[in-house]
Structure 1
Amino acid sequence: MERIDFDQPLVVDGAMATELEKLGVKTDTELWSAMALIHDPQAVVAVHKRYFEVGANVAITDSYQANVPAFEAAGLTPAEGRRLITESVKLAQQARDTYLAATKTKRPLWIAGSVGPYGAYLADGSEYTGNYQLSRQQYQNFHRERMQLLAAAGVDLFAFETQPNFEEAKALVALLENEFSTLPAWVSFSVDQQGRLCDGTSLSKAVAYFEDHPQVVAIGVNCTAMTNIEKRVKTVATVTTKPIVVYPNNGDTYDPASKTWQVNPAAPTFSELVPKWLAAGASLIGGCCRTTPEDIQQVAKVMLKH
């Protein structure tokens, strides 16, 4: 865990599905961006590499919606599903190796293994509601195999991201501590416009719970509106000493029923808002849904000045 220096500002990458769509990958299915693992893995490499090129320090694997039950539901065998989850790490590593060979950069580059919530597997927008209840053991049984595969493939840390459900987040961290003692993780919550976790839990309560869990090396929010970030960072900063991670959407609005986006032409830019997030206390900053390499380049340019 000492290998990753979170005391310096780090640039997290941006959206995967948005860039895959530009490369012709169909993502409006229950597997979402994980479709590319099946049909066009080199497109995943290309997206990761592009984010490294514009200044990202952290690549998040294309495994948010990748889990063995989801692949089985899509008609694959369990063995094929396991291979694809492993492949999500190998593709990010390939992009990193290619970028390093071409640039000889000294910039730290990390691979974060994406662990999306159980709600993402439901593929009904539940990551935006947290409206599901499993036991701690059921949550852990669901997440264990994907985490084992990501760890074995060589991720540098886990990204427990878009977490809407406090009980699930607690189960994930307990699983991390009990079975993955050598790997750190960040925890990033899915929150509403009022700043609560989507299941109604106070953000302050959720963040404070993880303060005494040393394997949780950063904590924050993602997959929310850009204009929601500054207030949330200030809230998080009052109850934790950990580095704060934020990666919002680009301002467009998602309809989980139709799996489509409504463009917001009045959305602010990262160049405008990142200085405010840094001032509020954020130190790991990137983008989530609908963000682009151009957005992450803006993040990197601002953070280079700090």
Structure 2
Amino acid sequence: MQAVTVKKLLKQGPIVLDGAMATELEKRGVQTDSALWSATAMLDHPEAIAAVHRSYFDAGARITITNTYQASVPAFVQAGIAAPRARQLIQDAVSIAKQARTDYATSHPDFQALIAGSIGSYGAYLADGSEYTGKYQLDEAGYQDFHRERLELITQVGVDLLALETMPKFDEVQALVRLINQKWPEQHYWVSFSIADPQTLCDGTPLAEAAAWVAQQPNVEAVGVNCTTLENIAPALTTLRAAVDIPLIVYPNSGDEYDPITKTWQPTARSHQFDSYVPKWLANGAQIIGGCCRTTPEDIATIARLVK
């Protein structure tokens, strides 16, 4: 694990995060229109995952997220994969990201980057779009039981920090953070919410309230929002900046619109307009900026150029 940290990278200026995994896997011939989504690539195309990580390093990303967002043991088991194999696949996803970083650094001597272990919400596991609605409910023990095994697998291999991302429900975040604090008290992480609007989580919790709670937790590196529209980012940053004084992370989708039934995206007139939005995000206090669904290395390169 590198000595570089979020704090050290931030001393050099805002940090560029990577972009979509599934979109780039599709370009490489990997089918992602299943309940496993991008995790499907772990079965037959691990080399494609490594290539995606490298493409984002080339674009200027200095944090890359592991391909574990949709990769939980229950999801693999439902797809007919035995649990021991599923556990190995999750750990392999972390190892692929770490090896991609090592390989890239071999030919780029000054290169430094962080590996963030992706922890998607329970809604992501349901594969019905409910990470964008929050229309599901477990109790605290239920959330912790769901997340515990993947956390154990990822932390065993080792990541620089965890990405608790596309989180639509405040009670799930609280359960998850409490579990991390209890079982992995030295593990750093960020929390990125799924929002209904720039002031509100999908479950109706005020974004400011949820962010303020997160900011008080130990080892949190950043708080923010992801996989929302480009237009929502600037006002969400205004909400966040008034509530917390820790680094703010934002990584919206490309502007395409998602259909949870067909699990496909459709371009819109506002797709991939990062050059129009990033300067305002920087002015509104964003310190870690990347892209989520449907974003590309070209989008990340645009962000990197504007950050510089």
Query: What letter is aligned with 2:289?
Result: I
2:83 matches 1:78: yes
Partner of 1:32: 37
Cα distance in 2, alignment partners of residues 113 and 221 from structure 1: 17
Cα distance between partner residues in 2 of 1:96 and 1:200: 38
| 1:95 maps to 2:100 | yes
Q: Displacement of 1:272 after TM fit?
A: 1.8
Pairs within 5 Å for 1:58-77? 58-77=63-82
| 3-state SS in 1 of match to 2:185 | coil
Q: Secondary structure at the match of 2:195?
A: coil
Q: Return the offset for 1:98.
A: 1.2
Paired residue secondary structure (1:210): helix
Alpha-carbon shift at residue 231 of structure 1 (Å)? 0.2
Residue 20 (structure 1) aligns with: 25
1:214 CA drift (Å): 2.3
**Percent of residue pairs identical:** 50
Of the three residues 110, 128, 152, the one matched with 1:105 is: 110
Partner of 1:187 in structure 2?
A: 191
How big is the shift at 1:216?
Answer: 1.4
Q: Confirm or deny: 8 A CA contact 2:251 2:291 kept in the other structure.
A: yes
**TM-score normalised to the size of structure 2?**
0.96
Query: What residue is the counterpart of 1:211 in the other structure?
Result: 215
Worse-superposed segment, 247-256 or 264-273: 264-273
CA distance in 1, matches of 2:199, 2:35: 28
Q: Give unmatched runs, 5+ long, in structure 2.
A: none
Give the Cα separation in 2 of the matches to 1:138 and 1:268: 38
Give 1:226's aligned residue.
230
After TM superposition, the score normalised by the length of structure 1 is 0.96
- Give the Å deviation of 1:105: 2.3
Number of residue pairs aligned between Structure 1 and Structure 2: 303
Q: Distance in 2 between matches of 1:26 and 1:288?
A: 18
Alignment partner of 1:236: what SS? Answer: helix
Cα 1:74–1:268 shift into 2, 3 Å: closer
Residue 130 (structure 2) aligns with:
126
Task: Give CA deviations for 1:213-249 in whole Å, capped at 9, x if unaligned.
Answer: 1211100000000111000011000010110000000
Q: Within 2, Cα distance between the matches of 1:92 and 1:267?
A: 28
Q: CA deviation at 1:18?
A: 0.2
CA distance in 2, matches of 1:78, 1:251: 36
SS across alignment from 1:159: strand
Work out whether 1:164 is the aligned partner of 2:168.
yes
| SS of alignment partner, residue 60 of structure 2 | coil
Match 1:146 to one of 143, 146, 150: 150
